[in-house]
Amino acid sequence: MAYIGVSPSNGVRRVHTYTVSGSSTDTFSGAGAEGTSLSYKDSNFVDVYQNGVKLGDADYTATSGTSIVLGTTASDGDIVVVVTFDVFSVADTVSKADGGTFDGNVTFAGTITGTSATLSTADNTAQLTLKSTDADANAGPLLDMKRDSSSPADGDFLGQLNFIAENDASQEVTYAQITGRTVDVTDGTEDGRIAIKTMRNGSSRSALDFNSGETVFNDDGDDVDFRVEGDGDASLFLVDAGEDNVKIGTGAGNLGKFAIMQQAAGAQERIAYFEMAPASGTSANNAMVIAVNNNNMVQPILRIHHENPAANQEFIFCTKTGSNTNIFTVDEDGDVLTVSGSVGTISDQRIKQDITDANSQWEDIKAIKVRNYKFKSDPSKTLLGVIAQELESAGMNGLIKETNPSVADCEIDSSFGTIVDDDSMSPLEDGTKRKKVGEVKSKVKTVRWSVIYMKAIKALQEAMTRIESLEAEVKALKGE
């Protein structure tokens, strides 16, 4: 058996001393004076001394591994010393200077300190597990990523988690990363930031950025939607990046900057509900404001549409107090109902100028033709009113106002304009696209009834003056 290395520095030398007492013997085994039992593995590495004289190989037999048999019996008082040499197995260690590989589990009772480490596995088992057996209510286990800089500055990178894999060209690609940074390192006003990026179309792009003053989704402005899925609605809340709009309950089309759709609403279910709760010590502003700053609009600012209304369906219903008392209603055929019966205009003298008496309205009122008529869209109703073109023929153009035609107007008379698909609204349940007016060829004439009412009042005053004058003449003729 050879030694490990160039010297027996990795070997073991054991001495076993035996003193013959009483009867003579030729066999020595067991523990000697040193208290160590005799044991050897190779007879070539055994030295035997009798009374200080080293015996030759022919003077003893060493074959059992646990005893030595002398060729000549030792007498009473003889001292026999057996020296065994053996080797030990060096532990599977990793060099401090050169490093190495651990093939099995390693347990550390203290702290591990180093500059880098790579944990590799050929399967899907966890390569790093942080385990805490503490039973208290504090956080654990903990993972600290510390940027221990002696000169910290705003915008410093604090740490980064990279998720790396290869593409189909065997190139390493960082498909996702999470980065922490400082924003403000001023003592007492420190701000931090966490940014999440993902690989998108071959480029690392911002997905979510938690900054000190805002949380931004899709900060790079890509065509990436933000969607919240409900229990039964796949598009409960959707920010559509491609359409640059927000949708609730729908993911279809460009319905507007903000679109809400309610499917199959049941009892007491609404498309939207807004409430301004009372607050002590405050003066409430408008509950809702629709503001427009565009002088090129050709469509209504506010449109309420019902695809298939029932008879007397209320389109606008205004109530007050806890009992929902109705104070104002507009129904499906255009009737306006009010509790007070009062419809007014602003008439404060302080906001008017150039106030003069109106000219006679007698001839205009005489020229108005009051007609019975039916709308082509609903020939079942006979209405009472005037015809706009007849007012124009009578020279009362100021009573006429023109507005854009509706789809129904164009369906009745194509001279108003063309009809095209309305992709800004969701289709009907059967998939049929809704319609809108395309090219406006002619506008619909409307009548300013409030002006006619004032004309009628002026004409009535004139009639009253004439009646009073005639009454005075009659009294004079009668001598009254």
Instruction: Look up residue 10 and give its DSSP letter.
Output: G
271 contacts: CB under 8 Å, gap ≥ 6 = 260, 261, 262, 265
Determine the Cα–Cα distance for residues 206 and 285; give it in Å rounded to an integer: 38
What tokens does 144 get? 């600290």
Q: What is the pLDDT of residues 34-45, one digit of tens each?
A: 998 998 888 888
Domains and CATH numbers, the chain: 8-87 (no CATH), 157-224 (no CATH), 358-458 (1.10.10)
Determine the Cα–Cα distance for residues 61 and 27; give it in Å rounded to an integer.
9
At residue 160 the predicted structure's pLDDT band, cuts being 50, 70 and 90, is very high
pTM to 2 decimal places: 0.58
Contact present, 61 and 69 (Cβ < 8 Å): yes
How far is it, in rounded angstroms, from Cα 147 to Cα 159? 7
Whether residue 40 contacts residue 46, with contact meaning beta carbons closer than 8 Å, is answered with yes
Q: Which of 12-21, 136-145, 264-273, 312-321 has the lowest mean pLDDT?
A: 264-273
Per residue in 166-194, pLDDT tens? Answer: 999 999 999 999 999 999 999 999 999 99
User: Which pLDDT tens digit goes with each residue over 61-75?
Assistant: 998 889 999 989 988
CB 34 within 8 A of CB 12: no
Instruction: Grade residue 268 by pLDDT with cuts at 50, 70 and 90.
Output: low
pLDDT class for 283, splitting at 50, 70, 90? low
* pLDDT(1) > 50: no
Candidates 411, 405, 397, 407; CA nearest to 442 is 405
Q: Which residue has the tokens 């160590």?
A: 36
φ, ψ (nearest 5 deg) of residue 266:
-100, -165
Mean pLDDT of 212-228: 92
| Structure token pair of residue 121 | 């596995």
Confidence of residue 7 (pLDDT cuts 50, 70, 90): very low
Report the C-alpha gap between 317 and 305 in whole angstroms.
Answer: 14
pLDDT in the model for residue 282: 65
Query: Residues 228-237, buried b or exposed e (16+ Cβ, 10 A)?
Result: eeeeebebee
Structure tokens belonging to residue 265: 């609403």
**What backbone phi and psi angles, to 5 degrees, belong to 388?**
-60, -45
pLDDT of 6 above 50: no
User: 377 by DSSP, 3-state: which?
Assistant: coil
* Per-residue DSSP letter, 428: P
Let me know the angle formed at the C-alpha of 346 by 343 and 351, rounded to the nearest 5 degrees: 175
